[in-house]
A and B are shown apart, each in its own frame.
Chain A
Amino acid sequence: MLGIFDKLKAGLTKTRQAFTERVATILRRRKIDEDVYEELEETLLAADVGFETTQFLLDHMQKEARRNKLETADQLVPVLQSAINVILGEDPEPLQFVKDGLTVILFVGVNGVGKTTTIGKMASKWRHEGKKVVIAAGDTFRAAAIEQLVVWGERAGVEVIRQSTGSDAAAVIFDAISAAKARGADLLLCDTAGRLQNKVHLMAELEKVYRVIDREIPGAPHEVFLVLDATTGQNAIVQAKMFHEIARVTGIVLTKLDGTAKGGVVIGVKKALDIPVKWIGFGEGIEDLEPFSSTMFAKALFEGFQTMEKED
């Protein structure tokens, strides 16, 4: 299996975004001046870190530069990376299993971010770790959503509990909980229909699903994963906020990191809402899922000039 780092790097080096290279050239052996900060600002903005968080990081860098009397621009990068690491915090346990009995995970998110695919990957992963896994086909809305999930269930070798399209999502999940309990499963992964966070009635439906799970197994769902597409811009913050209000999100799955987007908005999400990233998705293959590492993430934001410097 291609290491995830290699995969990420492959994606990143394929991108020849002019400014990243420019930053590389500029940072090397250059005195710290306003232009340097401007270039760094552009790098952060281009990674979707967002205006506010970018300003915050720049202020921090300027203070540190003064305090530690930094002279050359390349000294700033580690400062920036560690500041990002501080915001992102220690990497959490990517999945908290309950001591004994069934652990229930609910997957939520807007349309097309990769919920169903992530469930397929995660089912496969935990089955290989020796867990008994069951999947609930809670997207009863989108055309062929159930069929899609069933294919993933087959790939992962995991049973999918389902009803027909149009049936009540909460009822499907209710069934799946009983089925999972009856089969003595360790892990139940619940898919839900993609929904935009400003749709009041769809969010109410999600709340109902959440309540049903909580009623069947007090304290469940044990994890609620918000799936975020790394390509998403600043709207991700609103997404996190709204889904968190309805369904107490415990972690983020950041998908599509095999593209050129860097998903920098998760820094802002962590800062504003204290929701950590727990997993990353980096491909359409069943193995393309890994626990998140904040150090690696911070590095990837600047992979451009890191490699450039080595080449020099």
Chain B
Amino acid sequence: MFETLSDRLQNAFARLRSKGKLTEDDVKEAMREIRRALLEADVHHAVAKEFTERIREKAVGQEILQSLSAGQQVVKIVHEELITLMGSDQAKIARAPKPPTVVMMVGLQGAGKTTAAAKLARHLQKKEFRRPMLVAADIYRPAAIDQLKILGQQIEVPVYAPGADIAPQKIVEQAMKEAINGSYDYLIIDTAGRLHIDDTLMDELMQMKSICSPHEILLVIDAMTGQDAITVAEHFHSKLEVTGIIMTKLDGDTRGGAALTVRHVTGCPVKFVGTGEKTDALEPFYPDRMASRILGMGDVLSLIEKAQETIDEKQAKELEAKFLKNEFTLEDFLSQLQQVRKMGPLEQVLGMLPGMGKLKQLQQANVDESQINKVEAIILSMSKAERQKPELVTKSSSRRVRIAKGSGTQVKDVNQLLRQFEDMRKMMKHLTGLTKGGKKGIAGLNALGGLGPKGGMPFGQKGKRRR
């Protein structure tokens, strides 16, 4: 279960390649695998069907089938199409010309509206320097109001909460006045979770909408949602005209195919994703990352295969254990880095990483081997304790200066390395979950983390960091 698309395609094409050219039948087989990957990621079956049909046309049209890397290239087309489907640009939150901008959070029970509302408020306050106010309009779920009040306190954003015995319509009406009086520029309304087929409660939302004329109605959807996402999204959208989507719980190991479905039926962009329980765990949405994720991290997996050929089993096992315990250190990283170099020309290795897939970009990437030497030098200039506890270095500027000197680099290089190592750890933690279900271990992954576009080591990929 949950083998990746890339895996399956490579296998399918490897089998076929012995026969020579690929035929239309081979493409059909490949489309079956793609459909399967999409279904296992919870993309709606009708959407998956339509999608594979389009890919098939593209694949047949281009002369990729004769090429040796047909599998890779088909994956690439799929990847690109997925991005197109999900919207390639990052969508911002609306801002009304005349404040307050009113944002309504809607969705099923347990989707994560309350938490998302608080996260959004924090984001607006801390990142966009706005003055938000939260509105507690979930009068139904026990203690929902308390929950929002507590979160509001934590993030120091006022919460308008007149109580559970006042109708939500009334709450919204009063909140509007409150916002104007207090000159708040964002009003974020937390509504009660409800079933899309609950007419009474859906009517209630429509009434609230007509009272406060929101600039944004954000549908909050759990990333683990299955095929029903289509029904849910259709209902909410047809009643309320949703303007954007927040996907929650993406820190889990779900593939999150519902994102695609919801985007497809509503045409609304995913504006944010929730990546943790804390109020700061809200991130802008990146379609390309999501595409890789739906496909099972795309090409990364073929890189793992390669890594597994190179990396010795026993050592890999040890690393895996370390990894699960979150004990992966810079020292381990160094030895991994050295292993990666054994895998072959860097360009080729990089070419398999997600986000690096677009060939043109890769040719321009201008991979610089000397950068690896730099990283190596920095790590080698650290003491054993520092390699094992990078926090020591992070916390002490004198250590950083010493290391920079020792390695003939600059302090900013050291800083960058530390930051990226931390990112990589986070990403790996995430990948751990993704691959655990499959047959493969995560061993090989350790080697690669630092090379990914997210953790990106300083390989001359300037401007590629998106965080």
Contacts and interface: CB of A to CB of B under 8 A. Distances in A.
Interface of A: 11, 14-15, 17, 19, 42, 45-48, 50-52, 110-114, 141-145, 147-148, 150-152, 196-200, 229, 231-238, 241, 256, 258-262, 265, 272, 284
B224 interface: yes
Given A112-B109, A229-B110, A231-B222, 8 more contacts: A19-B46, A46-B45, A143-B150, A200-B429, A232-B224, A233-B42, A233-B226, A234-B42
Interface stretch (B52-60, B137-145, B302-310): B137-145
B1 A237 contact: yes
Contacts of B229: 231
Contact of B143 (A50, A144, A199, A256): A144
Closest 9 CB pairs of A and B: A233-B226, A112-B110, A198-B433, A233-B42, A151-B142, A144-B147, A261-B228, A148-B143, A147-B143
B253 interface: yes
A141 to B, nearest CB: 8
B109 A110 contact: no
B4 to A, nearest CB: 14
Given A42-B45, A234-B42, A48 B195 contact: no
Contact of A17 (B149, B226, B231, B253): B231
B277 interface: yes
Nearest to B45: A45
Given A111-B277, A112-B110, A151-B142, A232 B225 contact: yes
Contacts of A232: 222, 224-226
A259 B432 contact: no
Contact of B40 (A47, A142, A234): A234
Q: Is the interface of B mostly helix, strand, loop or mixed?
A: loop
A118 B349 CA distance: 50
A50 B231 contact: no
A46 B36 CA distance: 14
Interface string B88-107: 00000000000000000000
B146 interface: yes
Interface of B: 1-2, 36, 39-42, 44-46, 108-112, 140-144, 146-147, 149-151, 154, 195-197, 222, 224-229, 231-232, 249, 251-255, 257-258, 277, 324-326, 429-430, 432-433, 436-437
A114 B195 CA distance: 14
Contacts of A19: 46
Contact of A111 (B112, B257, B429): B112
A284 B109 contact: yes
Contacts of A256: 108-110, 195
Contacts of A15: 197, 231
6 contacts: A15-B231, A112-B112, A143-B154, A148-B142, A237-B1, A261-B228
A231 B1 contact: no
Given A45-B45, A111-B110, A112-B111, A231 B143 contact: no
A297 B150 CA distance: 40
B252 A197 contact: yes
Contacts of A14: 197
A254 to B, nearest CB: 13
Of A11, A199, A258, most buried by chain B (CB within 10 Å of CB) is A199
A233 B225 contact: yes
A265 B146 CA distance: 34
Contacts of B2: 234, 238
B227 A45 contact: yes
A141 B144 CA distance: 15
